[in-house]
Amino acid sequence: MGLWNAIAVGFKEIWAHKFRSLLTMLGIILGVSSLVAMSALVEGMEKGSREALVAVGGLQKFRIESQPVPVEQRHLRDFATGVTLGDVYAIQNNAPEVLKISPEMRLDPPPTIGANGKSVRTWSTAGVWPVQLEMMEHKLEHGRCFNEVDDELARSVCVIGTGIRDELWGNPDETGEEVIPIGRTLTVNGYPFTVIGMFERYESDSDRKARLLRKAEEEERRAKGLTNNVTGPKRMRGWNGNRRGGFAFWIKNNTVYMPLNTMWIKLLSGQTNRPSDKRLSEMEIKVRDVSKLELALSEIRNVMMVRHRGIEDFNFRTQEDWAEQINVFIKNARLSGGLIAGISLLVGGIGIMNIMLASISERIREIGIRKAVGAGALDIFTQIVVESTVIAVIGGLAGLVASYGLIQLIVAFTPTDNAPILTVGAMAMAFAASAVIGVLAGLFPALKAARMNVIQSLRYD
């Protein structure tokens, strides 16, 4: 019997038992759609994480920060200086693999930023060199950044992110008017600073889309004459915790940068016991070539070791750790999701096998007749395997369609920053898995049918 004949017979058999076949397919449909939906979700998460990684500078970048002296060097702790501005100059001069280096001085505890009768605390308040803007991928939208002169003269100027503006002068989405606070004054721990620049708003692609959509809808409502019936001031403060993946963007938006010297002279001096060497919270370093990251690290390590006289009071923090964490997380998510979807596919396969067994025991006589007129064991075997495969493949196709709906459903119920991404690879894999399961589920029933005795099955009632 040709394959086409077998497939035609398979379709006829499915059509003859529509409801039963549909129920059987349901298992495969659920399995395939959950597999595809899961992979789309993970794909979305991965994209979101990578976006966040790029937002903070990518793999080329790493950080050196102070750390407590290790146990075996405790007796030297009085000589430990931590990361200092002197280190920055030394690395600049002695490590050729370093492309950019940016020192950072922060206040601990985080300072209170005040203006307009409101106040906000943020960890991202730092004294930096202008190069920090390139380092952290900041983009100025309004005003200017401070320059070497501002740094030299320790002027009280600052550049802020939109998050700070939102907190102090109101969010344009809520107030309806955009405040550009250039020239206004804010206070950092009580010291007045002039805002001379503001960054653009950082957000993930999906956040931006969602925000623009909201805005467009609102404008449409206004155009129709409907008022925005907000009953009172809505207050959203800090990081809105249920928005996963947006943390990196939120931190970035809540930045307050001032010249390093300003931070040192006006806010920090007198706090350290060794004012002669300006202590940093950390420094950010960008290397020329990611592939030579190891070389750059050892160069810098040598410089640092010499300057610190062998005291390891500093620590390297590469983004590779983060990238690695992302990879591990994605792998785990994929594994657990795949496992669950795989189990549901397996259950679907068992359902098919079950129905095929029921089907052949109700067709014993038919099989006997087919054999009597000349069907070989292989013909019967093929027919049953093809039937179960046809069920599984139809179920798989339906599952692909269902997966689209499932993803929409998941998105509707759990709005995440990371929109799921439907990939052709995942769909192809899920479909192939359904076909394989169909074949496997058919094997045992097919073997049973092929082995049936002709005479006994002819006599069966």
Partner 1 sequence: MALLELRNVSKIYHLGGEEIRALDDVTLDIEAGEFCSIIGPSGSGKSTLMHILGCLDSPSRGTIKLDGVEIQKASTSQLAQIRNRKIGFVFQFFNLLPKLNVVQNVELPMIYSGVSGRERRERALKALELVELGNRLKNRPSQLSGGQQQRVAIARALVNDPKIIFADEPTGNLDTHTGEIILELFRNLSRQGRTVMLVTHNPEIAAVTPRRIEIRNGKIADKVDARLAGLDRKVAGAGAAAAH
Q: Which residues bind partner 1 (CB under 8 A)?
A: 1-2, 5, 12, 16, 365-366, 368-379, 454-455, 458
Residue type, position 162, single letter: T
Q: How far is the CB of 339 from partner 1 (least distance, A)?
A: 41
Provide the 10 A C-beta neighbour count for residue 409.
Answer: 12
- Looking at the Cβ atoms of 222 and 365, the one nearer to partner 1 is 365
| Helices 424-450/319-362 angle, 10° precision | 30
C-alpha to C-alpha distance for 436 and 438, rounded to whole angstroms:
5
Query: Which residues contact residue 175 at a Cβ distance below 8 angstroms, ignoring those fewer than 6 apart?
Result: none
Q: What does the CA dihedral 79, 84, 85, 88 come to, rounded to 10 degrees?
A: 110
Query: Which residues contact residue 45 at a Cβ distance below 8 angstroms, ignoring those fewer than 6 apart?
Result: 245, 329, 330, 333, 416, 418
Query: Which residues contact residue 191 at a Cβ distance below 8 angstroms, ignoring those fewer than 6 apart?
Result: 156, 266, 267
- Looking at the Cβ atoms of 145 and 367, the one nearer to partner 1 is 367
- Looking at the Cβ atoms of 12 and 118, the one nearer to partner 1 is 12
Q: 305-311, long-range: CB within 8 Å, 24+ apart, which pairs?
A: 307/86, 307/87, 307/90, 308/80, 308/81, 308/87, 309/79, 310/73, 311/69, 311/73, 311/76, 311/79, 311/80
Task: Tell me the torsion sign for CA atoms 246, 247, 248, 253.
Answer: positive
Q: Is the separation of the CB atoms in 20 and 355 below 8 Å?
A: yes
C-alpha to C-alpha distance for 80 and 313, rounded to whole angstroms:
6
C-alpha to C-alpha distance for 321 and 300, rounded to whole angstroms:
18
Q: How far is the CB of 402 from partner 1 (least distance, A)?
A: 30
- Looking at the Cβ atoms of 175 and 456, the one nearer to partner 1 is 456
Q: How far is the CB of 427 from partner 1 (least distance, A)?
A: 35
Q: How far is the CB of 390 from partner 1 (least distance, A)?
A: 16
Q: How far is the CB of 4 from partner 1 (least distance, A)?
A: 9
Provide the 10 A C-beta neighbour count for residue 226.
Answer: 10
- Looking at the Cβ atoms of 12 and 274, the one nearer to partner 1 is 12
Q: How far is the CB of 385 from partner 1 (least distance, A)?
A: 16
Q: How far is the CB of 389 from partner 1 (least distance, A)?
A: 19
- Looking at the Cβ atoms of 263 and 380, the one nearer to partner 1 is 380
Q: How far is the CB of 5 from partner 1 (least distance, A)?
A: 6
Q: How far is the CB of 386 from partner 1 (least distance, A)?
A: 14
Which two tokens mark 290? 């990611």
Q: What are phi and psi of 232, to 5 degrees?
A: -155, 175
Query: Which residues contact residue 70 at a Cβ distance below 8 angstroms, ignoring those fewer than 6 apart?
Result: 312
- Looking at the Cβ atoms of 131 and 377, the one nearer to partner 1 is 377
Q: How far is the CB of 423 from partner 1 (least distance, A)?
A: 41
DSSP state string for 8-58: HHHHHHHHHTHHHHHHHHHHHHHHHHHHHHHHHHHHHHHHHHHHHHHHTT-
Which two tokens mark 313? 């009071």
- Looking at the Cβ atoms of 78 and 461, the one nearer to partner 1 is 461
- Looking at the Cβ atoms of 290 and 455, the one nearer to partner 1 is 455
- Looking at the Cβ atoms of 158 and 449, the one nearer to partner 1 is 449
